[in-house]
Amino acid sequence: MTDTTDAAPPATDGGDPPDGSEFGVGEQNSDGPRIEFRGGKWMSTVPIAFFILWAVFQSGILGVGGADGLVIGALIGTILGMFFVRGSWKAYADTIFEGMTQRVAATAIVAWLWAGMFADTLQVGQFVNGLIFAADALNVGGATFPAAAFILCGLLATGIGTGYGATIAFVTLFFPAGVLLGANPVLLFAAILSGAVFGDNLAPVSDTTIVSAVTQDADIGGVVASRFKYAILAAVPAFVAYLVMGSVLPGTSLEGAAELDAAAAGLVHLVSMGIVIVTAVAGRHIVEAISWGIVVAVAFNLLFGLSSVSDILVFTVSEAGTFTSLPFVAVGETTGVGGSLYTGATGFFPLIVLTLLIVSMAQIMIRGGGFEAIQTFLLDRVATTVRRAELTMVLGTATINGMITINTAAEIAIAPYVARIGEKFNINGYRRANILDANTSALGYIFPWAGGVLVGYQVMVGPDGLGAEYGPEMVVNPIEVVPYVFHGWFLVAIFILAAVTGFGREYIPDRVSEEVSRA
């Protein structure tokens, strides 16, 4: 189907069209290479290539998760690249600063800090316990437990924005309950991972959602609204598949009643979550949207007794004094600041540092000519039509996420290529962001070495894990889970079909993203 546009200028939804100069990119990148490398422009890819190899070795081969280790890989890679520079190293060093000060990184960082505070405040506010109450009230049995887990974990992940956090919470609290009720452990774990994929993909406060939007010049609210169609088309058959397979696959022979730590009041955070989603989709600044979410979540926590003040913010001092009577000052062995606002924000610090380093490595590649060389190869040899360009974006994102299992890091690394390849065919920023994030979210929770699978598995096999508490029936081999992460597989399949058929495709002239500063 082909369309003809109206004569009127494209709507900008009330705001001026995004100005690329806000991001500190584009203008400077149009210059020729400024850094010369021994061995040619391909050597400018050494820092990021080293980082990718490091990430594959750390997360894929050794199974070590977490962004902290990747930071060291990025630092060493950056130092390594310097030895291949011809002439003065000053331009190389300056480019590190140039990359780190790009607006694209700062926008993501600000959104992460706010999202982290909101997510942790929901967690201390017994949101999970509220979801457990819902499952209990709906009288969910062993056969239907996986389907319920998919929906409820999806809700939690959409609220707190972190699929990893939702996976840990659900494997800790929901998984043993389901297995004891007779659900198949493999299917139940896979259903939880599917819920994490759903939330990671759709939540406006998700780190991957934020990265996908800001790297493609699109506002976060608009991105969430535009990807709903793909998410729901994958989620509905996934839900049905969990219902069917829940009846087919047998449960374990564990006996005993599940101890459900349920709290109905925790469900009030569906409102906190809804406020963030509605205000973000309505086009309000993401900082404003999440700030309102934080205010409401804190109010609900205190009003309904879901958490104490010190669960949200606490100063811990070593000795009692004048201020220790205050609800946010406590006496403890180690002094410091704590609470959900603190842990929520600081939890993103490693990822923030990693993002700055990856963006600076990408800038080195741009300045050295390596970025253009790869892009030219892809555009000349692979992405020669819009259909092939979209397939390249889908499969390229899936491949890099299959290798680098900390999915946000993989997403940041592939984002510049998705942007440039898409722009060369005038593919809309919303569409590019959706291709980028769907495959990032899905692949981060399917394979045995994926970060999302590993965090859940760790809960089972850790020193005080489920295996130690309940026995080996409560431990799932990650490789068995692969075929059952239905939502992840369906999401990838839908994007391959969408690239081939043009479903959901939008071009830049069709619709202009709102300002990215309103991200």
In the complex, the residues that contact another protein under the rule CB under 8 A are: 1-11, 13, 17-21, 23, 25-27, 29-30, 104, 215-217, 221-222, 225-226, 228-229, 278, 281-282, 362, 366, 385-387, 415-416, 419-420, 423-427, 429-431, 501-509, 511-512
Nearer to another protein, 103 or 308 (CB): 103
Which CB sits closer to another protein, 302 or 424?
A: 424
C-alpha–C-alpha distance, residues 393 and 378, integer Å? 10
Contacts of 394 (CB under 8 A, 6+ apart): 435, 439, 492, 495, 496, 499
Measured from the CB atom, the residue of 1 and 257 that comes closer to another protein is: 1
Query: Which DSSP state fits 268?
Result: G
CB of 86 to another protein, least distance (A): 25
Indicate the angle between helix axes 386-403 and 46-55, nearest 10 degrees. Answer: 60
Render the burial of 289-311: b for 16+ CB within 10 Å, e for the rest: bbbbbbebbbebbbebebbeebb
CB 493 to another protein: min, Å: 16
Distance of CA 337 to the CA centre of its chain: 27
Find, among 452, 482, 467, 443, the residue nearest to 170 by Cα. 452
Return the bridge partners of 85, or none.
Answer: 37
CB 431 to another protein: min, Å = 8
| Min dist. Cβ of residue 398 to another protein (A) | 20
CB of 221 to another protein, least distance (A): 8
Each as own residue / partner, the long-range contacts of residues 377-380 (CB below 8 Å, 24 or more positions apart, any chain) are 378/417, 378/421, 379/421, 379/424
Minimum CB distance to another protein smaller for 129 or for 513 = 513
Nearer to another protein by C-beta: 227 or 269? 227
Backbone angles phi, psi at 206, to 5 degrees: -75, 140
Closest separation in Å from C-beta 415 to another protein:
8
| Least distance (Å) between residue 17 CB and another protein | 4
Q: Which amino acid is at 204?
A: P
Residue 245's identity, in one-letter code, is: M
Residues in CB range of 40: below 8 A, 6 or more apart: none
Minimum gap (Å) between residue 433 Cβ and another protein: 10
Closest approach, Cβ 169 to another protein, in A, equals 28
Q: Which CB, 184 or 513, lies closer to another protein?
A: 513
Pick between residue 212 and residue 439 the one whose CB is nearest to another protein.
Answer: 212
Region for residue 192 given its phi and psi (left: phi exceeds 0; alpha: psi -120 to 50; beta: otherwise): alpha
Cα–Cα nearest to 193, from 445, 477, 442 = 445
Closest CA to 266 of 303, 293, 311: 303
Closer Cβ to another protein, 80 or 225, answer by number: 225
| Nearest-angstrom CA–CA distance, 142 and 183 | 4
C-beta closer to another protein: residue 453 or 512:
512
